[in-house]
Amino acid sequence: MLEVTGLEAWYGQAKALDGVALRVGEGEVVSLAGRNGAGKTTLLRCLIGLHGQLSGTVSFLGRDVTRTPAHQRARAGMGWVQDDRGVYASLTVEENLLLPPKASDRAWSLERVYEEFPMLAERRRAPGTTLSGGEQQMLAIARVLRTGARLLLMDEPSEGLAPVIVARIGAIIREIKADGVGVLLIEQNVKFAATVADRHYLLSQGRVVESLDNVEFQQREGELLKYLGI
């Protein structure tokens, strides 16, 4: 579904990514772990088409999209759940959900969203400014699922959230995985990543330094926590 080869990125003269290669298959959840400043968010911005100073190749669904504008990648089925959630504060929950256009027939209906996210159903008339952090994260995820995205790029979806909300996000990720949706997940919460991901990449100073299956990842949990400074 997604294949990245030789990806390099810069901010001016400073190199942020150095020869990154990774892949995400259909119905596969892949996590990307690394310390702050390792290049994780820059990588997602390159994949979604929001960082232009780069080289290498990004292929999505067998097509080279390295220079394709972000809106065209979104229409092709690539969705981004931002770390700042991107909720429109002046709109209600329902207005936020009705805003994005559908990219495919995989798009979740409003009824399915409310069934899977009952807290959003309860707050459907509430403006974005009144939502808690967990409600905002649920809304950000649901809004991308409303587009029918085939690949989700998720930036720290569990950060700062209560365990019950984190567990619900994990359940949703496993559900969309079963539907064949691919997920690339930036996640510092090693325990959470181990419950949802099939494979893991470790990023350090803009390079992928290790690729681990989930068994190896769980066996090295203590080492990874120490490495990540958690």
Residue 53: CATH number of its domain: 3.40.50.300
What is the CA 89 to chain-centroid distance, rounded?
21
Token pair belonging to 141? 């995820």
Count of the separate structural domains present in the chain: 1
Interval 129-145: pLDDT, tens: 899 999 999 999 999 99
Q: Are 21 and 161 in contact (CB under 8 A)?
A: no
Domain that residue 67 falls in: 2-228
3-state secondary structure of 115: helix
Any idea which residue has 């968010």 for tokens?
41
Give this prediction's pTM.
0.92
Q: Which residues of the chain have pLDDT under 50?
A: none
Torsions phi, psi of 46, nearest 5? -65, -40
pLDDT digits (tens, 9 = 90+) for 82-123: 888 889 888 999 999 999 888 888 899 999 999 999 999 999
Residue 126: its H or E element:
none
> What is the pLDDT, as a whole number, of residue 229?
67
